[in-house]
């Protein structure tokens, strides 16, 4: 027989103790639905109003290289300058742009004012830098390249190959899963980046730790999620490591990384495995149910 004999003080303590747990469960449920729908059970028409034949003319990725500096600090490191020179040496017929926070802000305010509030609301400089690269390449097209990427050979052959294959977006695989946004090429006004920009508000959630907040709200994992939900996969040329290393080398200086890197990698592996993710959520619910039964309805 279950008997409930509790004083007012005990009930108050129970409510105070359980309320934040219930909020945390609600948070976990809400974010789990979002993560599952965007990375596991994807829908290939989400937030994309255009069909795949949005233009009859297949154009080459423009000969432009865009890089960003000045979001974290104004000093340009010598190592970054040397890496930038490798791109200039191999791409003398390309136009090179080095964007700073002021010039990126001006472009967003002028041409993409609908995302300016969320852009300014981000707590980390790298989130704003991520959004800036999407805006710049949606507006101008060309290549975005992080400052810690070294050029091994010209991109001309790669661009021509993409053009012959009728590919308008070039991405590359990254560890441990998905694609990266440290270097990618695309034609101007492509609907893929429109989808990336259009879903920023929905992705702006709290993911427990800083690294996850960056990856899932605006970073490379977020961008990969938009690829998974984009209907026109034939638009993409996805490079494996063996393919892209002939063109560039990624140093990964980790200027935005912090203590939570390992936890971020664990979560990425977890959410991309349906069996492990489902098992984890079931165990979490069962454990919490047992806890509530023992605390709220103890047996005498």
SS (H, E, C) 243-287: HHCCCEEECCCCCCCCCCHHHHHHHHHHHCCHHHHHHHHHHHHHH
Determine the Cα–Cα distance for residues 270 and 32; give it in Å rounded to an integer. 12
CA 162 to chain centre: 24
Q: What is the pLDDT of residue 1?
A: 45
pLDDT tens track of the chain, all 300 residues? 444 555 666 566 666 667 777 777 777 777 888 888 888 877 765 445 445 666 656 789 999 999 999 887 778 899 999 999 999 999 999 999 999 999 999 999 999 999 999 999 998 999 999 999 999 999 999 999 999 999 999 999 999 999 999 999 999 999 878 999 999 999 999 999 999 999 999 999 988 788 888 999 999 999 999 999 999 999 999 999 999 999 999 987 655 555 556 665 666 666 666 666 677 777 877 776 776 666 555 555
At the topology level of CATH, where does 64-250 sit?
Answer: Spore Coat Polysaccharide Biosynthesis Protein SpsA; Chain A (3.90.550)
Q: What is the pLDDT of residue 23?
A: 75
Residue 61 has what DSSP assignment?
P
**CATH 3.90.550.20 intervals, the chain:** 64-250
Determine the Cα–Cα distance for residues 141 and 189; give it in Å rounded to an integer. 7
Determine the Cα–Cα distance for residues 36 and 228; give it in Å rounded to an integer. 12
Provide the strand spans (E) within the chain. 64-68, 95-99, 142-145, 149-151, 169-172, 183-186, 236-239, 248-250
Contact (CB, 8 A) for 36 and 277: yes
- Nearest CA-CA partner of 94 in 165, 151, 14: 151
| Strand duo 248-250 + 183-186: pairing | unpaired
Provide the strand spans (E) within 18-164. 64-68, 95-99, 142-145, 149-151
Predicted TM-score (pTM) of the model is 0.79
Query: Is the peptide bond prior to 176 cis by the omega test (within 30 degrees of 0)?
Result: yes
Q: What is the pLDDT of residue 249?
A: 95
Token code pair at residue 266: 């664990």
Contact (CB, 8 A) for 100 and 69: yes
- Nearest CA-CA partner of 241 in 171, 174, 157: 174
């Amino acid at each position: 027989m279950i008997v409930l004999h509790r004083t007012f003080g005990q009930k108050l303590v129970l409510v105070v103790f359980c309320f934040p747990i219930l909020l945390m469960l609600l948070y976990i449920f809400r974010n789990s639905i979002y993560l599952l729908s965007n990375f596991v059970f994807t829908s290939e028409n989400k937030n994309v109003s255009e069909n795949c034949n949005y233009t009859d003319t297949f154009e080459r990725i423009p000969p432009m290289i865009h890089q960003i500096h000045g979001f974290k600090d104004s000093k340009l490191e010598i190592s970054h300058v040397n890496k930038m020179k490798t791109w200039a040496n191999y791409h003398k017929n390309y136009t090179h742009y080095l964007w700073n926070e002021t010039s990126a802000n001006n472009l967003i305010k002028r041409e993409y004012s609908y995302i300016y509030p969320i852009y300014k609301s981000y707590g980390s400089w790298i989130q704003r830098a991520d959004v800036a690269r999407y805006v710049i390449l949606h507006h101008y097209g060309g290549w975005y390249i992080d400052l810690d990427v070294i050029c091994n050979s010209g991109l001309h052959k790669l661009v021509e190959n993409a053009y012959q294959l009728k590919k308008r977006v070039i991405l590359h695989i990254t560890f441990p899963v998905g694609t990266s946004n440290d270097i990618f090429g695309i034609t101007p006004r492509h609907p893929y980046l429109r989808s990336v920009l259009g879903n920023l508000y929905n992705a702006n959630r709290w993911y427990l730790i800083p690294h996850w907040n960056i990856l899932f709200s605006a970073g490379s994992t977020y961008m990969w999620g938009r690829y998974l939900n984009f209907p026109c996969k034939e638009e993409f040329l996805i490079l494996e490591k063996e393919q892209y290393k002939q063109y560039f080398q990624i140093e990964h200086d980790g200027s935005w990384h912090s203590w939570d890197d390992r936890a971020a990698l664990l979560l990425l592996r977890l959410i991309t495995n349906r069996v492990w993710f489902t098992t984890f959520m079931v165990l979490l619910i069962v454990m919490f149910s047992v806890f509530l039964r023992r605390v709220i309805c103890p047996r005498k």
